[in-house]
Structure formats: C-alpha cells, structure tokens
Amino acid sequence: MDTQKKAIKNLVVSSILIVDDHPVSRDGLATRIAMESDLEVCGEAADVVSALQVIDSCQPDLAIIDISLETGSGIELVKEVKARFPSVRTLVWSMFDESLYAERAIQAGAMGYVNKKNVRETMIEAIRTVLAGNVYLNPEHVSKMLNRLGRGAGIEARSPVAALSDRELEAFSLIGQGLKTSEIAQRMDLTPNTIETYRGRIKEKLELKHSAELARAATQWVLENG
C-alpha cells in the first residue's frame, strides 16, 4: 500500500487544452483523456481568442487544436502559440486528410497531426509522443512523404489545391462551406477586400475562370475532404 501511495504521489500529470468548435468533439476527447492517470484536461476553447486566453491562464503542457474553428484557423493558432508560448507543445487533429494538412501543421510549429477518423486508436499514443518531445504522424503518411521527397517532389506536386497558401486554403474551404465574402472576412478576421484578393489568387492557381467555377470546385473539395 505504501508503495502504491508513493507511486501516486510521484506521478507527473501533464495538462492538456482542447481547442475545437464542436462541443461533442471536445467532450469525447476530454472523456478519453480522463481515463489516463497521468493526463488531465485543464481547459477548452472554441476559437483562437479564447484559446490564447486559456493558454495564458492555465499554461498547458499540450494544446490539441482542430483546424476549423469558430473564428480563425487552427494552423494560424499553432503559429501564434509557437510565437507567444514556446513551451506549449501543439498537436493538430482534424477530419481533413493528412496528405494536405499534416505538413502544413508541422511547418506551422505543431509536433503532430491526427486524423479524427483514427482518433480512438491513435490519440493517446500521439499525445504521449508529443509530450515526450517527439513528432507524431501517421506511419503511412510518413512513408508517402519520404517517397515523395526522395523523388524531389515538393508540397505543390500533389494537387493544385496543395499549392495554395495556408490562408488561401482556409478561404477556399470556407467558400466551399457556402459562406459569403463578408462572412469569410469575419471568420478569418480580415477585410472583405483581402478575401476578394484571395479569391483572385485561388482562381489563378486552380485555373478557374470565374466565381461560379470557384464555388463549384470549393464545394466539391469540401465534400471530398471532410
């Protein structure tokens, strides 16, 4: 009994922040984390502003961040956390496929990427990997990425959409969700003129002639990618 008490007393508990705009997703992940004696959820947030506030107040060891938030982008939040709270590690989870977002997340400063479709099997392993100071990626994606790099192919080689910048891709996704320019501007905390500039760049990169083609392409992409 004394040995058990000593082990419990010496147990190091890592604190985790969950950033996701879906309460059900946050609750499900929090419940799973609570099953681990050395992990605890210290806070939750649904958007960039509240996430930064919670990080400032509870100083988590790890922030698990979704890409799509109520306002702002998870990728942009990762960059902000890295700049303002360098001791806080970040792990991105999302319904979007690794082939498009995993490398973007790592380049932004995240230490891992988990597809929500596989979260039951991989999340705790991913959390422990990142808390240990290592990068977590789906082994299958790592293999594909290494093969591509071995052939000298960059991120743009996968698809035209992959050539979009992080912010252009965020705007493209919101267009595909049916949001108007003013709504996209509000979600991304940018001016409508900036969103129109993004629209123009996206059409140029994807070789789309007009707004109707852009809307169709964006809608189809969202349907195919979560």
* Angle between the N-to-C axes of helices 192-206 and 211-225, in degrees from 0 to 180, rounded to the nearest 10: 80
Residue type, 162: A
> Which residues of the chain form CATH 3.40.50.2300?
2-138
| CATH 3.40.50.2300 fits domain 2-138 | yes
Could you tell me which of 124, 98, 104, 90 has the C-alpha nearest to residue 170? 104
Residue type, 89: R
pTM, whole model, 2 decimals? 0.80
How far does CA 219 lie from the centroid of its chain? Answer: 20
Burial of 128 (0-12, 13-18, 19+ CB in 10 A): middle
| Tokens read off for 118 | 């596989």
* DSSP annotation string for 46-86: SSHHHHHHHHHHH--SEEEEESB-SSSBHHHHHHHHHHH-T
> Which residues of the chain form CATH 1.10.10.10?
155-225
Secondary structure letter of residue 138 according to DSSP? -
Over residues 115-165, the pLDDT tens digits come to: 888 888 899 999 999 999 999 998 776 666 666 555 555 544 557 788 899
Question: Could you tell me the strand order of the sheet in which 14-19 lies?
Answer: 39-45, 14-19, 62-66, 89-94, 113-115
Torsion, Cα 203 225 110 107, to 10 degrees, reads -30
Q: By percentage, how much of the chain surpasses pLDDT 70?
A: 86
Fold that domain 155-225 belongs to in CATH = Arc Repressor Mutant, subunit A (1.10.10)
Over residues 41-96, the pLDDT tens digits come to: 999 999 999 999 999 999 999 999 999 888 889 999 999 999 999 999 999 999 88
